[in-house]
Structures are given as C-alpha cells and as structure tokens.
Structure 1
Amino acid sequence: MTSSVLAGENYSVSDDITIATAPPADQWEFSISPYLLMAGLEGTVGLGGQNIGVDAAFSDIADKLEIGGAAYFEARKGKWGFALDGLWLKLKGNADLPTPGPVLESSELTLETVRAKALAYYRFYDKQTTSIDAYGGISYNYVDTQLELNGLANIEQRNTEGWFDPVIGLRISHQLSEKWFLRAVGEVGGFGVSSDFNWEAMALLGYSINDCWDLGLAYRGIGIDYSEDDFVYDVTMSGPMLGVTYSW
C-alpha cells in the first residue's frame, strides 16, 4: 500500500512488535484518492478597485456550494514519489461590501477556485513505524470572480486570474497500529514569484480496511495571498476532509 494523501503503509504486527514490510525498491506503487473538502472561505477579494469581504464558514457551506470536487494521485518507486493534487470549488453568496450605498438592493458574489499541484517526493527518513518525505513542485491557481450589484442600475463585474507558484513541504506519516495511521503535511510557497505567499497544512487520521482500501478523515487549510493590478485574492480555505484511497 502506498503513502498517498490518505493511504497507510504496509505493516505486520507480531508479539507486540511492529515491523515495516516495504515493497521491492524497483516496484512501482500507485494510489488514487477522491475526497470531499467542506471548506469554508474567509478573507478579502478585490475586484474593480473595490475590496469585498468573504466569510463563509464550513458549517453553512452547503447553502453556498454550487459545485466542488477534489482528487489526489500518487506514484512511488523506492524513495521517490510523484503526485498530482487537484481541488475545484464554486461558491455563491451575498457580498460584504464596505459601502453598499442607499440605491443598492442586493449584492451577490460568485467565486470559482481551482488549485492543481504537480509534486515530487523524496523519502529521507524511514524507521519502523515513522516516515518523513520532503517534496517540491508547482501549483497552479485559477480564480473566477463575479460580482452582481442589483439596485437602480444592475451592474456586473467579472475578473479571472491564473498563476503558477513554486511550493515546498514536508509530509510525516506514523503507523499507530496495523490498521490505524496518522499523517501531517505542511507546505509553503509563492515567495513573490506570483503569489506573495501561500501555505497549506493538513492533519489526517486514517484506517486501513485491507491491502487496497483506506479511509481518511482530515482537517485541511489553504491560504493564498495574491495581488495583480486592481485584483486582490487574500483568502484562507479550511475545513474537514473525508476521502477514500485505492492502492495497487
């Protein structure tokens, strides 16, 4: 079984001693993990020179989520691994404008976010029940923002932005028992290349059903601080994540 975002490791337990049973170094392992991310959004989106407050907690995100999906794929051979990670959310809700004005009857913000990453891993620590991977790669971020102002005159403003950022991070995996495992991921990126800064963090508790299937429950947070001309995207997405992994 691979060490993907949700998958556990292969371990055998005998006489209270846990021993890692690694596959041959020349054998490729693969895993795919579709998952649900009930992410709330909080921060500021600047559109047309006007800053709009975004505050949608994950507890009421079901009322605002129009469509969303996410998936993770990993291939590993020995100490090296390669992964693709994708997230897509489309939300719609009332816009929090600083000065709505007396002639404004309503305002609505539609925000579509795509985040895709291509990553390369290297496992530099692998002892008994604990392993640590360092990784680096490229993230692509796409934001489609649409603001509708309804009043004496109906006004629609729309802006789309897409950019690439470098990212680096660490992933720590620890096997609690034959079935249960923990995983933590920390990542930073941007560094002024496109975003001023971005970060990602995740803590996961997983359960191995068998050699092919795992379940995972996690909490994930993503922060992006990007600005270009009069467009601002300074937003944090965070919330629980539930997924399943198939490994072969």
Structure 2
Amino acid sequence: LDHLDFGAMAIGEARYGRYSVFGDVMYSKISGSAGTPRGIVASSVEVSTETFAGLMGVGYSIVDDDTVRLDVVGGARVWSVDTDLSFSGGLLDGVSRSDGATWVDAMAGFRGNYSITPEIYLTGWGLIGAGAADLDWDVAAAVGYRFSDSISAVVGYRALGVDYSNDGFVFDVVEQGPILGVVVRF
C-alpha cells in the first residue's frame, strides 16, 4: 500500500432471462524509489508501473432458481502494462528505460450466486484462459447483504494472475486483495 498511487475496479452486468452480458475493468498505478548501497552504480532508483485489465463476456444460466444461479461464461480480457525505470547518481545517472505490452486472452468459466437468506448471499466466479498469454486466471468470492431489491453491499477477496512473455517483455503477476463494494440493481 505504501507504493499504491491509485487503484480502481468496476463490474457491470446486464441480464435478460438466462442470458447475461458483463464487463469488468481494473486499473492500478504503483510507484516507488529507493537508494542503493554505496551509490556507485546509482544513488537511487525509481520505478512506476501502470496496469489496465478489461474483460467483456457473455453468460448463460445453467441453474437459475430463487436460491441459486450458476452461469457458464466466456469472453475476452485485454491487458495493457507500462513500466518505467530510471536511475539517478552513480555510473547509471540519467539512464532510464520503459517497456510495456498490450494483449488479449480468451476466458471461460463460471459465475454464481447463492442466497443463504433473503438478505444474505454468496457470490463469486472462476475464470481461466489463454491467448497471447500462456495462462490467464481470475477467482473471487464475496458475501453480500441486500438492503433492498436495488441496493446491496459486498465484501470478499479476489485474485487474478497472468503469465505473459513476448520479445523480452515478461509479465508474470498475481494481483490479489480484498474487495468492498456497492451493488446497484435497476
């Protein structure tokens, strides 16, 4: 958290009967700097990275009743990553490098909800895929509380990972952490 400059996530879904269309966007910017021992090679190093991931998908409910809804889903996730590295002082004073990539992966999996009571429910998903990346995955689990038919709050945990490499650029990352949100239905 000391190096997190900004992070945001938003999820949207439209349903018609058993069919759904959904989208998911995430953005994070992380930066930091540190001094180096003895300062011979460099007295300090600064790094910043921006990551964007956007998913568009469709789903079909294979189970859909008052208590349980389970969707089989498929879609595509686009990733865009940019990293900047710069050195100050020492032998590398003024040297900086930038690298990045943008790619798309196909994704498939399941999404679902389970109502424990009329107010309390469990929700989550599991997706896996590949394409330009060797592996792309996304899992989440959350507990929700319905304040009304149109407003809920959710708290849970999400982890997603990707293993991408191309022409010397490597992005083998797992992003994970708690989620807290508001669900609005209309």
Superimposed CA distance per residue, residues 129-151 of structure 1 (whole angstroms, 9 cap, x where no aligned partner): 12211100010000011111222
- Alpha-carbon distance in structure 1 between the residues aligned to 2:150 and 2:67: 19
| Larger RCO: 1 or 2 (CA < 8 Å, sep 6+) | 1
- Residue of 16, 21, 45 corresponding to 1:82: 21
Q: CA deviation at 1:68?
A: 2.1
Q: CA deviation at 1:102?
A: 3.6
Q: Equivalent residue for 2:154?
A: 216
- Residue of 159, 162, 167 corresponding to 2:99: 159
Q: After the TM superposition, which residues 171-186 of structure 1 pair with which residues of structure 2 at under 5 Å, given as runs?
A: 171-186=111-126
Contact 2:100 2:169 in 1 (8 A): no
Q: In terms of mean alpha carbon deviation, does 63-72 or 178-187 score higher?
A: 63-72
Instruction: Tell me which protein shows more strand as a share of its residues.
Output: 2
Q: Equivalent residue for 2:171?
A: 233
Q: Equivalent residue for 2:133?
A: 195
Q: CA deviation at 1:128?
A: 4.1
Q: Equivalent residue for 1:243?
A: 181
Q: CA deviation at 1:66?
A: 1.3
Give the letter aligned to residue 41 of structure 2.
Answer: V
Q: CA deviation at 1:101?
A: 8.1
Give the letter aligned to residue 184 of structure 1.
Answer: G
- Alpha-carbon distance in structure 2 between the residues aligned to 1:120 and 1:109: 37
Superimposed CA distance per residue, residues 215-238 of structure 1 (whole angstroms, 9 cap, x where no aligned partner): 000100010110011110001100
For structure 1, the residue ranges without an aligned partner over 5 or more in a row are 1-60
Q: Equivalent residue for 1:58?
A: none
- Residue of 55, 58, 64 corresponding to 1:120: 58
Change (3 A) 1:94 1:234: farther
Give the letter aligned to residue 108 of structure 2.
Answer: I
Q: CA deviation at 1:183?
A: 1.1
Superimposed CA distance per residue, residues 31-80 of structure 1 (whole angstroms, 9 cap, x where no aligned partner): xxxxxxxxxxxxxxxxxxxxxxxxxxxxxx1x211122221111100000
Superimposed CA distance per residue, residues 175-229 of structure 1 (whole angstroms, 9 cap, x where no aligned partner): 0101000012111011xx2001011110100000101101000100010110011
Give the letter aligned to residue 134 of structure 1.
Answer: V
Q: CA deviation at 1:94?
A: 4.0
Q: Equivalent residue for 1:110?
A: 48
Change (3 A) 1:141 1:207: same
- Alpha-carbon distance in structure 2 between the residues aligned to 1:222 and 1:118: 16
User: Does residue 11 of structure 2 align to residue 72 of structure 1?
Assistant: yes
- Alpha-carbon distance in structure 1 between the residues aligned to 2:114 and 2:39: 55
- Alpha-carbon distance in structure 2 between the residues aligned to 1:69 and 1:242: 11
RMSD (Å) for aligned C-alpha atoms: 2.0
- Normalising by structure 1, what TM-score? 0.70
- Residue of 79, 82, 92 corresponding to 1:144: 82
Q: Equivalent residue for 2:30?
A: 91
- Alpha-carbon distance in structure 2 between the residues aligned to 1:149 and 1:188: 38
